[in-house]
Amino acid sequence: MHHDSHAGQIVILNGAPRSGKTTIAKMIQAHFDGPWINLGVDAYNAMTPERYLPGIGLRPGGERPELEELVPFLYAALYESIAIHAGFGLNVVADFGHHDSYSKPLGILADCARRLEGFAVLFVGVRCPIETIMKRRAVDEPGREMRYLKATDEMPVPEPVRRWQEEVHRPGLYDMEVDTSQLTPLECAEAIRHQLDLGIPEPSAFERIAEAR
């Protein structure tokens, strides 16, 4: 596909909470040339009214059906703004936990992919074994409302954590993957830079996802 040479680059990071996406995004912003704007879930949720949270961060399992009808519109508006930023020559890194485990499938990822048609998009799967995620969750971070997800002897991996792990990498079509239990955030960013230098595979993951019906 022909990409506009004046448009910015777009890197979409997809993975479960605590897999290390946000830190990779920060490394890209700190070390890559040019302006990289982060339009990911944390930045967007900071703009979302509290009563509609977790917004696009709604976890698999459909625990807030009244929010589900809003989620596709939030994602659509956010991806349209990613396209606008890139159209002005700004680079965008965005970290998400895309899944389709709502009370009914919403097909959000394919819709988002279609909104970035004509742009160079590198879709990166951020993998992290569940044991590592549980270790990270044990370290309580201020502002994370994860206290209800503490591991117990009866349930070493809480159900919501397991569900994220299972649902976030479906269909699992990526241009590249990184494992944050094997690589530091900076090494993940360097691997992404290397792939951008080599060029995005043809057809790209987003082109394949956009065509899937």
Q: Which domains, from first to last, does the chain contain? A: 10-211 (3.40.50.300)
pTM, to two decimals = 0.92
Based on the number of CB atoms within 10 Å of its own CB, is 147 exposed (0-12), middle (13-18) or buried (19 or more)? Answer: exposed
pLDDT string in tens for the chain (213-residue length): 556 779 999 999 999 999 999 999 999 999 999 999 999 999 999 999 999 999 999 999 977 889 999 999 999 999 999 999 999 999 999 999 999 999 999 999 999 999 999 999 999 999 999 999 998 888 765 555 454 455 556 667 889 999 999 999 999 999 999 999 999 999 999 999 999 999 999 999 999 999 986
CB 194 within 8 A of CB 132: no
DSSP 163-193: HHHHHTTSS---SEEEETTTS-HHHHHHHHH
ω before 54 within 30° of 0 (cis)? yes
Task: Provide CB contacts within 8 A for 10, sequence distance 6+.
Answer: 82, 86, 91, 92, 93, 94, 116, 119, 120, 121, 122
Please state, in angstroms and as integers, the Cα–Cα distance from residue 130 to each residue in 33, 64, 83, 165, following that order. 33, 24, 33, 7
